Structure 1
């Protein structure tokens, strides 16, 4: 069952098993605030087990584009469209958040983004990426990286 992410009262609901649950909840709330402010979109997530198609799509892109397999267990996921961009998010037990921005127009921007919740180590499978730091009132320090999607998915 999906639930809207509240970015005014940050909750760890659905993320309790994460060792960095508070920071991951802040990261999730930060994304919710961004989509509400930029697109007037309510960011809603559901348990990863109920969003298997979204998780499989994201994992398929990671495997196909970079040979990546994420070791951590997915906890929640969401998929939606804003303007002509398909968005997907997966939040992992380790504190990792992966998003896919997939422009639906020919030549549209397509990328995979990684964000690390405050307090988590860089996962071994992402050690080759360089992470930039960003401050967030909701999430503390977010470390982020990305790569451009080259193939059709």
Structure 2
């Protein structure tokens, strides 16, 4: 069952088991606002239990590119395409929001995995061990977000 994320009335629906549910809901709403403003796309999520294909795709990229396997439980995913870009999101119980940006064509395709940490969560040990550096940004919906990324080298 999909859930359309409302960035005007932030809700923790689907994220209640997270110790940082409010911050994670704000982060999810922040992403929804971005896609509405930039692409006029409504951001919908589905429970991770209903999205094995999206999880397998993300886990494959993480494993192949950086040998990363998160211990945190995935709560929700979102997969969609706007213009020539496929996006896949995973929201984890610990407060991590992961996204895969993958352009499907073009002379210089952009392909990356992004990590955003909810306010109040520690850096996951899986990312700390790989020495990821995090930049901070402010959001009215999510407070202080810390983000990092890596470029995808392979084809997926």
TM-score scaled by length of structure 1: 0.99
Pairwise CA RMSD of aligned residues?
0.6
5 Å matches for 1:106-117? 106=106, 107-117=108-118
Q: How many residues of Structure 1 are paired with residues of Structure 2 in the alignment?
A: 153
Q: Which residue of 2 aligns with 1:96?
A: 96
What whole-Å deviation, never above 9, does each CA across 1:106-138 have from its counterpart, x for those lacking one? 431000000000000000000010000000000
Moved over 6 A (4+): none
Give the Å deviation of 1:24. Answer: 0.1
5 Å matches for 1:60-139? 60-106=60-106, 107-127=108-128, 128-139=131-142
Structure 1 alignment gaps of length 5 or more: none
TM-score scaled by length of structure 2: 0.97
Structure 2 alignment gaps of length 5 or more: none
Give the Å deviation of 1:52. Answer: 1.0
Q: Which residue of 2 aligns with 1:152?
A: 155
Q: Which residue of 2 aligns with 1:46?
A: 46
Give the Å deviation of 1:44. Answer: 0.1
